[in-house]
Amino acid sequence: MPYKFEQLDVWKLSLEYIDSIYLLAEKLPKSEEFNLKSQMIRAATSISLNIAEGSTGQSDAEQARFLGFAIRYLIETVACHHIIQRRGYIQDQTLLTKIYEDSQVLVRKLQTFRKTVAPYQVREGQPTYGENDLI
């Protein structure tokens, strides 16, 4: 009998995203071996791991919490993606665009799943900025 997470489309999608991140990471220069490459791979892997961990015998609130972690790790990969583009490490714009679009699909599915699992869970508040807070 398969584990619950193995049946989740969002988990399967996260595996495809990991494959893309590995492909991107392999194209990074050697100087980024222990920085961006390592960071992106760990973050992408954590997306799938948190989906899996949250699915196993947890309460809805606990599962939603792990989905929140997965979203945070996904955002981390997107931040790395921006650094890679800014530094001009990858010239393959098709690959960069595909990975960015895939990240948008995955984050929407994770957010929807999280809202479905625990629709009334207290969420982290959105920061409010005053006029003097902007730099």
Spatial separation of the C-alpha atoms in residues 75 and 4, rounded to whole Å: 25
Check which CATH number belongs to the domain holding 107 and give it: 1.20.1440.60
Residue with tokens 């989905």: 67
Spatial separation of the C-alpha atoms in residues 45 and 21, rounded to whole Å: 9
Render pLDDT for 2-42 as a digit per residue (tens, 0 to 9). 899 999 999 999 999 999 999 999 999 999 999 999 999 99
Residue 132 in domain: no
Render pLDDT for 42-97 as a digit per residue (tens, 0 to 9). 999 999 999 999 998 778 999 999 999 999 999 999 999 999 999 999 999 999 99
Residue 21 in domain: yes
pTM: 0.86
Higher pLDDT, 40 or 121: 40
123 band by pLDDT with thresholds 50, 70 and 90: low
pLDDT of residue 110: 97
* Cα separations in angstroms, 33 against 17, 30, 95: 20, 5, 19
For residues 83 and 116, is the Cβ–Cβ distance under 8 A?
no
pLDDT(102) > 80: yes
Structural domain span for residue 70: 4-116
How many distinct structural domains can be found in the chain?
A: 1
